Chain A
């Protein structure tokens, strides 16, 4: 009696586990996904990206019968709080979020709080095309992904300038301070903790610290003061020559595009190599805008899609994530006329027909080719970002 009771409990437990879709049995996943609706929470601040997501939604519905609804967020943290609140309130199945565009601190927070479903990502059929050797697709800001999120797009720090007004932009952080001195008020970076603003600080730190290897361990294991001292000296010199003398900061990357369009600045930083090109195509920037990277290379990272633990449409979410990894979807995404985000696939290793799609992409005016982008420098350990943001806040966030 007692034993059979145990067996029954065990059977129930495994039964519950088996109810979760397993990407190893892909046909079963496709079967289960048919008819599901996937609520995909993704930043909605860019019309080209929204259009791309709408295209992917149509394709997945046509091919696999999965409905995809794009929930447009102004900040990814909104969805993170949502899942956390659902867990606290005991909403354990069919939560509001089925798929989430995420990376960095948000991923680290969700992983630590046990808010993610998985592992599933590396069992997706299209995972075989992913460039696992040369692109940081298995770590997210040094945090191992462990199959809890599937890579989607790459991003890399670039600078863009209006060649008509600033023909000779600086090619290093040190040169940037000189350039700003000669052109006061014509450069700006977003206010940390904006993502781009913080990354700009890290980019400067990588170049200026003289000891970049210390940055890939936790900040308290290094001599933080000594490593960051050159950065603060440099910022003290740069800040008075920033837009508005550093007494006000733009709040986001897109705001820089606006300032450039209004002629308020001549040089800007971006985390999206195709941002300037899309803006030119969207009439937001003049055709004299050019994109470039610093001589020593720039930081880059990968953004991912993850499935919350309480999604009610996990199979559908996986089908969508797999489609997003397909060479067709990745090639379309890489086209600056559509969006222009870097691919996470290993293009060289793709079958001929798929590779041809990538080779056919043309870099429009204002854009930058994959070769010019050069090597991606990996992101430092997340603890550096936290410390830098706090210190920046204390030194420059409350202006004098």
Chain B
């Protein structure tokens, strides 16, 4: 795995300092940096990236914790669990389109109240989506990241015996929320720390969502980098590389600051927990209410977003302020449907290959660690997670150069290999904690009955870990389904997938086409989540301890 990551990074570092063979430049130069720092929007763009990233992470984490603290183990919790999969499966860009249509001045929310309530016959000219502070972008990110963090917390809670721990805390006089925060959170935190970092890095460098919901005068740094990368004047590519390195520095700095903040908050939290203070019932109630509201709002945003896409895919003419289309038609489906089979098969095949390989690699890594008792060093982990942190658009040209030089490109197998670079970190992220938390005595019990190391892995660990394995599979699968640039660059355009087709059509802005393709994309990603949700329950319907 080191090769592709190093090649990708070199592909960003080289051009930033004047080394770009395809442009005929092969000397050391700081020209790219000078041009970068001369851009008048740089400070605002970098500030936006940082602000949006941190705010989205803080809000996502806060809401996730409120939902968990207030409702874990209740009937509401069951609904939360069930609602997760469809939201997780929705591609980020599709969710962003859905949300944009929901909250825009000409969007569904305003339509529903117009003109009978607002009196508006034409939409008001107010800046809701793409606001200069990036609040719409934050909202879009939060709607997608809360479910991801919930999924990760869910996996961690099972092993932290959240239920029993919470019971103890409540027996000691703590309320549900404060008890959860004081007793359960500290046990879960080490397991959700990495996912939180991933959310921070992703929120800072996201491109597609930022292009749809984010401001554009100036845009976030990541969006600007893509613009430079796609400039017809190839010389701008070195400025894009310099920008990407700056972006990488920003992300690394934000992560370091976050880590420092974590230590501070942890210290305060410990003092709070040891102080024995109790929250008044009203505060408890308010916190629980806020959690419920957050869960409902997230679900509603995603649900209405999805519904909006579905309605658009079947819409005839649909003008403001009509809340529903003036006419319905299946023409969009008839137009795009037949062309979908090939890309759909490619999407599923590539995702399957990449995810199975990632699962195999992650499992092999973790199993070696389990048997040898040695954890990978911090350096190796950074490399593994680097593809999540470096902006894809700067990372990929280097990867492409490696693939071209190795003659590995054009086929769907090389596309799957490129996806692996981005799928593996997420699979590792999802799988490592459950893997490490597995009780060693199971392995001893199996071995004492004559099973070899492999036998224990296949006959004991794998079936017992079916649920986390399937969850990791679903997360990885969804990541693969959503890949656009790696598919295009490594596949040379010869491997069309649902996503490449959807993004190409989205560049035309036709909401009907976007609706059709985004639904197909979401469907492809939803399959494994459905499997992960239903599979263990079905397979282990007669095994109470594994039903989750």
**Closest Cβ of chain A: how far from B219's Cβ, in Å?**
9
Residues of B within 8 A of A45 (CB): 504-510
Question: Does B106 reach chain A (CB closer than 8 Å)?
Answer: yes
> Contact: B227 with A82, CB < 8 Å?
no
**Closest Cβ of chain A: how far from B232's Cβ, in Å?**
4
Residues of A within 8 A of B131 (CB): 248
Q: Which of B191-199, B286-294, B454-462, B490-498 contacts A (4 or more CB under 8 A)?
A: B490-498
Question: Does B296 reach chain A (CB closer than 8 Å)?
Answer: no
The main secondary structure of chain B at its interface with chain A is loop
**In chain B between 183 and 236, which residues have their CB closer than 8 angstroms to a CB of chain A?**
211, 215-218, 227, 229-234
Check A91/B132 contact, CB under 8 A, given A193-B227, A283-B315: no
B505's partner among A47, A82, A249, A252 (CB-CB below 8 A) is A47
**Closest Cβ of chain A: how far from B325's Cβ, in Å?**
8
Residues of B within 8 A of A399 (CB): 132, 217
Residues of A within 8 A of B41 (CB): 393, 397-398
> Contact: B317 with A283, CB < 8 Å?
yes
Residues of B within 8 A of A263 (CB): 106, 122-123, 319-321
Query: Please, how many angstroms separate the alpha-carbon atoms of A285 and B23 in the complex?
Result: 44
Check A75/B40 contact, CB under 8 A, given A51-B335, A254-B508: no
> Contact: A82 with B329, CB < 8 Å?
no
Question: Does B336 reach chain A (CB closer than 8 Å)?
Answer: yes
> Contact: B316 with A72, CB < 8 Å?
no
Residues of A within 8 A of B229 (CB): 77, 81
Question: Does B513 reach chain A (CB closer than 8 Å)?
Answer: yes
Q: Which of A106-114, A150-158, A219-227, A370-378 contacts B (4 or more CB under 8 A)?
A: A106-114
> Contact: B511 with A97, CB < 8 Å?
no
Check A261/B132 contact, CB under 8 A, given A41-B493, A44-B504, A244-B125: no
**Closest Cβ of chain B: how far from A185's Cβ, in Å?**
3
**Closest Cβ of chain B: how far from A123's Cβ, in Å?**
27
Query: Please, how many angstroms separate the alpha-carbon atoms of A41 and B489 in the complex?
Result: 13
Query: Please, how many angstroms separate the alpha-carbon atoms of A329 and B503 in the complex?
Result: 27
Question: Does B275 reach chain A (CB closer than 8 Å)?
Answer: no
**Closest Cβ of chain A: how far from B338's Cβ, in Å?**
10
Map CB proximity to B onto A284-315 as digits: 1 under 8 Å, 0 otherwise: 11100000000000000000000000000000
Residues of A within 8 A of B315 (CB): 283
Residues of B within 8 A of A217 (CB): none
> Contact: A71 with B217, CB < 8 Å?
no
Question: Does A142 reach chain B (CB closer than 8 Å)?
Answer: no
> Contact: A71 with B496, CB < 8 Å?
yes
Residues of A within 8 A of B218 (CB): 397-398
Query: Please, how many angstroms separate the alpha-carbon atoms of A307 and B230 in the complex?
Result: 20
Query: Please, how many angstroms separate the alpha-carbon atoms of A391 and B21 in the complex?
Result: 30
Map CB proximity to B onto A81-110 as digits: 1 under 8 Å, 0 otherwise: 110111111110001110000001110110
Residues of A within 8 A of B397 (CB): 81, 85
> Contact: A252 with B513, CB < 8 Å?
no
Question: Does B400 reach chain A (CB closer than 8 Å)?
Answer: yes
Question: Does B488 reach chain A (CB closer than 8 Å)?
Answer: yes
Query: Please, how many angstroms separate the alpha-carbon atoms of A85 and B234 in the complex?
Result: 11
> Contact: A79 with B493, CB < 8 Å?
yes
Residues of A within 8 A of B405 (CB): 89-90
Query: Please, how many angstroms separate the alpha-carbon atoms of A258 and B104 in the complex?
Result: 12
Question: Does B170 reach chain A (CB closer than 8 Å)?
Answer: no
CB-CB nearest in chain B for A255: B509
> Contact: A43 with B507, CB < 8 Å?
yes
Map CB proximity to A onto B318-358 as digits: 1 under 8 Å, 0 otherwise: 11110000010101000110010000000000000000000
**In chain A between 161 and 190, which residues have their CB closer than 8 angstroms to a CB of chain B?**
165, 184-185
> Contact: A396 with B40, CB < 8 Å?
no
CB-CB nearest in chain B for A253: B509
Question: Does B44 reach chain A (CB closer than 8 Å)?
Answer: yes
> Contact: B22 with A84, CB < 8 Å?
yes
> Contact: B40 with A394, CB < 8 Å?
yes
**Closest Cβ of chain B: how far from A87's Cβ, in Å?**
6
Question: Does A243 reach chain B (CB closer than 8 Å)?
Answer: yes
> Contact: A261 with B217, CB < 8 Å?
no
Residues of A within 8 A of B233 (CB): 105, 109, 386
Question: Does A269 reach chain B (CB closer than 8 Å)?
Answer: no
Residues of A within 8 A of B122 (CB): 165, 263-264
B217's partner among A39, A79, A264, A396 (CB-CB below 8 A) is A396
**In chain A between 66 and 80, which residues have their CB closer than 8 angstroms to a CB of chain B?**
69, 71-80
CB-CB nearest in chain B for A74: B507
**In chain B between 461 and 515, which residues have their CB closer than 8 angstroms to a CB of chain A?**
488-489, 492-494, 496, 500-501, 503-513
Question: Does A46 reach chain B (CB closer than 8 Å)?
Answer: yes
Question: Does B176 reach chain A (CB closer than 8 Å)?
Answer: no
Most B-side CB within 10 Å, residue of A41, A71, A185, A286 = A71
> Contact: A72 with B211, CB < 8 Å?
no
CB-CB nearest in chain B for A246: B217
Question: Does B130 reach chain A (CB closer than 8 Å)?
Answer: yes
Most A-side CB within 10 Å, residue of B41, B218, B409, B508 = B508
Residues of B within 8 A of A106 (CB): 232
> Contact: A89 with B319, CB < 8 Å?
no
Question: Does B446 reach chain A (CB closer than 8 Å)?
Answer: no
Question: Does A262 reach chain B (CB closer than 8 Å)?
Answer: yes
CB-CB nearest in chain B for A70: B496
Question: Does B127 reach chain A (CB closer than 8 Å)?
Answer: yes
> Contact: B494 with A71, CB < 8 Å?
yes
Query: Please, how many angstroms separate the alpha-carbon atoms of A50 and B516 in the complex?
Result: 15
Map CB proximity to B onto A35-57 as digits: 1 under 8 Å, 0 otherwise: 00001010111110011001000
Question: Does A145 reach chain B (CB closer than 8 Å)?
Answer: no
Query: Please, how many angstroms separate the alpha-carbon atoms of A332 and B66 in the complex?
Result: 60
> Contact: A257 with B509, CB < 8 Å?
yes
> Contact: B510 with A254, CB < 8 Å?
yes
Question: Does B404 reach chain A (CB closer than 8 Å)?
Answer: yes
Question: Does B401 reach chain A (CB closer than 8 Å)?
Answer: yes
CB-CB nearest in chain A for B214: A248
Residues of B within 8 A of A244 (CB): 125-127, 130
Question: Does B144 reach chain A (CB closer than 8 Å)?
Answer: no
Residues of A within 8 A of B329 (CB): 283
Question: Does A343 reach chain B (CB closer than 8 Å)?
Answer: no
**Closest Cβ of chain A: how far from B272's Cβ, in Å?**
43
Q: Which residues of A contact B (CB under 8 A)?
A: 39, 41, 43-47, 50-51, 54, 69, 71-82, 84-91, 95-97, 104-106, 108-109, 113, 165, 184-185, 191, 193, 243-249, 251-252, 254-255, 257-259, 261-264, 282-286, 386, 393-394, 396-399
Q: Which residues of B contact A (CB under 8 A)?
A: 21-23, 39-41, 44, 104-106, 122-123, 125-127, 130-132, 211, 215-218, 227, 229-234, 237, 315-321, 327, 329, 331, 335-336, 339, 397, 400-401, 404-405, 409-410, 488-489, 492-494, 496, 500-501, 503-513
Known: A81-B397, A89-B405, A243-B125. 13 other contacts (CB 8 A): A39-B493, A41-B493, A45-B505, A77-B231, A78-B489, A81-B229, A113-B23, A193-B231, A254-B510, A264-B122, A282-B512, A393-B39, A398-B218
Q: 16 A-B contacts, Cβ less than 8 Å apart?
A: A39-B493, A43-B507, A46-B510, A72-B501, A78-B230, A78-B489, A87-B22, A91-B404, A105-B233, A244-B125, A247-B132, A252-B507, A263-B320, A393-B39, A397-B41, A397-B218
